Amino acid sequence: MVKQNQPELSLLIPCYNEAENLERLFSSLQLVLKSLELDYEIVCINDGSKDNTLKFLIDYHYLDNRIKVINLSRNFGKEIAMSAGLDYTTGKAVIPIDADLQDPPELIIDLITKWREGYDMVYAVRKSRQGESWLKKKTADYFYSFIGKISTIPIPANTGDYRLLDEKVVKALRQLPEKNRFMKGLFSWVGYRQTAIYFERLPRYGGKSSFNYWKLWNFALDGITSFSSIPLKVWSYFGLFISVISLFYGLFLMLKTLIFGIDLPGYASTIVAILFLGGIQLITLGVIGEYIARIYEEVKGRPLYLIRETYGFDDR
């Protein structure tokens, strides 16, 4: 792909039912971008929104052709929407940013400053999260510390998708073929020279978050299964542990029987042992199932996303 007028910066905005935020979003983005005085494009991905998001995006595109729109064929989820966007951005640096103004646009200036110092990826770490429930913050903390411990590569805590990616990183990300796209992990996986900046995460400007706890739980499972095989492996150690204990317990019972004869009570301990081990076996099967289901998703080899139409990519 030869880029004659390669913009310096591409913003990448996944949008799912964000109609009420777009006006505020574009006006604050344009303010910041104006002050930066660089050539830019804004790539918006409409991820199967059910409200007027697409219509508004198209209107904005016709007002300003630096705003480009990709309309996916249905809702694919944020991770895939971002991957789709990354396939289309042309900038020397790309910044994915949420449409709900939770990622303050002013931070783009700091991201660019660090990038110009020579970093390939600058990620924005949340010092605090405003307007989110205690439970959401707590579960997020536990998730980040858990995945931090078991992942094969370090994934920075309290870091979302708001970050700057150099062109090199974007090219690397495009090469990753997996269908299960836990982007926070993939961003770390590619490596390169990375650094952090810190910010206060704001509450949503308008609308509701589309991530309920069930979605977040599955998101967490996606992250864990794509970046660690420890959940698959612990069971052999656990099994070994139980077997060793059973061996000694067996020897003890044998000696006891030889010395003191047979006594019958033991119903409670038998039922507890059966139920406990049955439960453990079902859990291990479930864990294996989680991995197999993901292997199945991968081998089906379906395309990651489908595009209904695009606006502003006529040169492609």
Q: Are 199 and 154 in contact (CB under 8 A)?
A: no
Q: Least distance (Å) from Mg ion to the CB of residue 100?
A: 4
Q: Least distance (Å) from ligand UDP to the CB of residue 312?
A: 18
Partner in contact with 211, chosen from ligand UDP, Mg ion, none, beta carbon below 5 to 8 Å by kind? ligand UDP
- Does position 96 interact with ligand UDP (CB under 6 A)? The reply is no
Partner in contact with 47, chosen from Mg ion, ligand UDP, none, beta carbon below 5 to 8 Å by kind? ligand UDP
Residue in 125, 122, 132 with CA at minimum distance from that of residue 100: 132
Q: Least distance (Å) from ligand UDP to the CB of residue 32?
A: 17
Among 77, 85, 223, 312, indicate the residue that binds ligand UDP (CB under 6 A): 77
Residues in 181-220 at the binding interface with ligand UDP, rule: CB under 6 A: 209-211
Could you tell me which stretch among 74-82, 87-95, 246-254, 270-278 binds ligand UDP (CB under 6 A)? 74-82
Buried b (16+ CB within 10 A) or exposed e, 7-27: bebbbbbbbbbbbbbbeebbe
Partner in contact with 184, chosen from ligand UDP, Mg ion, none, beta carbon below 5 to 8 Å by kind? none
Q: How far apart are CA 83 and CA 179, in angstroms?
A: 10
**What would the two tokens of residue 110 be?**
């700091």
Q: Which residues bind Mg ion (CB under 5 A)?
A: 98, 100, 102
DSSP letter at 303 equals -
Could you tell me which stretch among 14-22, 148-156, 185-193, 262-270 binds ligand UDP (CB under 6 A)? 14-22
- Does position 16 interact with ligand UDP (CB under 6 A)? The reply is yes
- Does position 18 interact with ligand UDP (CB under 6 A)? The reply is yes
- Does position 103 interact with ligand UDP (CB under 6 A)? The reply is no
- Does position 47 interact with ligand UDP (CB under 6 A)? The reply is yes
Q: Which residues bind ligand UDP (CB under 6 A)?
A: 14-16, 18, 47, 75, 77-78, 81, 98-100, 102, 209-211
